[in-house]
Each structure stands twice: as structure tokens, then as C-alpha cells.
Amino acid sequence: MADIIRLEKISKTYGTKVKTQVLFDIDLAFAEQSFNAIIGQSGSGKSTLMNIIGTLDQPTRGEIWINQIRTTDMNADQLASLRNETIGFIFQFHYLLPEFTVMENVLMPWRIRGLPVIKEVRDRAEELLDTVGLSKVHNNLATALSGGQQQRTAIARALINQPKIVLADEPTGNLDSATTDTVYQLLRQINRKMKTTFIIITHDKRVAEQADRIVEIKDGRIEMDVRNPI
């Protein structure tokens, strides 16, 4: 399978006077349709790596190809379009828009794309909400949901534009273990059904073990990179 994400010699240094290097010459590639876990301790640099993959942060050195497109020379608007069309984000803190309903939150990336919300899109949103088990609350305000429901809404939102990549940063960090399991089953199911590439940062060993591949980051370097035989 071709690589959908390729990082070449990625370094990241924060600060101007006191410099702190958090990533050191990372070379990493992810295959299309794969389900990957990135693990590592707090402060290891895994979230920085994830933000750089998602084009939210820029590396100090090195280059990134997303979907065979080199992102180094892209301007803010081009990066915004790339994110909107190619990448779905699921964050630890849900980040739904509290002013909007569940359905409106799910449709937001589509509206940002500038396309009209035709019936087909609305049907897709309904289907996604159905998949994540939220079809009954789609007219509720995002703030009226439980943590697990909010995270599942964020998953539906990440998928509305049918992105090739979904980046999830500790998507279950704030959830109890039962809900964590449900959410991971869901992500895996979506990965199989929609052929979406998943890169998930997690602390949870049990979750990581179910991934196709585990990359461990330690002190800004790749400490371990194993492919799961199952």
C-alpha cells in the first residue's frame, strides 16, 4: 500500500532565547488505510508530532508529504483547504462548537468546504450519527451531551468530508473504560469500512495493541516501531 503520510527529517525546536528541541530528525511514513497508534510518555513529543502531521504546527526543519503533496511551501489558506479536505481531527478535549447543535457541528467541515448541504450530505451526516449511536440527539446543543457523546460527535464530524486521514490525539483520554472500548471499536470499524487511515495517540496499551502498527516516541525520537501481526 502506498504511503499517505511521509515525514522526512522532521525536527522541532520551541523558543527563541531558550531553545528546547522536542523532535529530532524523525523519518516516518504511514501506509494508506492503516490503523496506527503512537505511544509515549507525557512530554515525549508525540502531540507535537501529531500537530505537525496535521499541518497545525510547522516543523523547524524537515519536510512533510500529505497524500503525495509537499506541504512545506503551502500558505495558510492552502494548508486550511488541505486540512479541510484530507484530514479529520479528533481531539482529547472534544472541541465541539457549543453554540451549534450536534448535526450542525457534524456538518461544519462540509460548510467550511464551501459546498451546499444537499440531501445526500445530510443523509451522510445522519448515517454517521447513526454509526456513532447519536441519531436521537442530533438536534441537541453540543453542550447538552455527555463526554462520551461529545467525543462520538467529534468522530462523526471528523468523517463528514470523507477524509483520507483521521488524526486522533488521546481521543478517549477523558472517557471511562467502557466508553473507551466503544469508541475504539467504532474507529476500527470505520477504518475497515471507509478505508480511512487512522493515526491515534494513546496512553492505553490495550488500545495500542489492537493497532496495525505501534510507534513509540521517547525524548523526541522514535524508540520503537512495530507492526502488529494480526
Site residues (vs another protein, CB under 8 A): 47, 51, 54, 56-57, 76-77, 80-85, 89, 91-93, 95-100, 108-109, 111-114, 157
Q: C-alpha grid cell for residue 147? A: 463526554
Q: C-alpha grid cell for residue 78? A: 492552502
Q: Single out the residue of 228, 230, 192 nearest to residue 39, CA to CA.
A: 228
Q: How far is the CB of 12 from another protein (least distance, A)?
A: 11
Provide the Cα torsion 127, 129, 130, 132; round to 10°: 130
Residue owning grid cell 467529534 = 154
Q: How far is the CB of 210 from another protein (least distance, A)?
A: 26
Comparing CB distances to another protein, the nearer of 32 and 57 is 57
Q: How far is the CB of 226 from another protein (least distance, A)?
A: 28
**SS3 category, 101:** strand
Q: How far is the CB of 225 from another protein (least distance, A)?
A: 25
Comparing CB distances to another protein, the nearer of 111 and 192 is 111
Comparing CB distances to another protein, the nearer of 117 and 224 is 117
Q: Single out the residue of 229, 165, 228, 193 nearest to residue 32, CA to CA.
A: 165
Comparing CB distances to another protein, the nearer of 1 and 16 is 16
Comparing CB distances to another protein, the nearer of 64 and 214 is 64
Q: How far is the CB of 209 from another protein (least distance, A)?
A: 27
Sheet holding 20-31, edge to edge: 20-31, 3-14, 61-66, 69-70
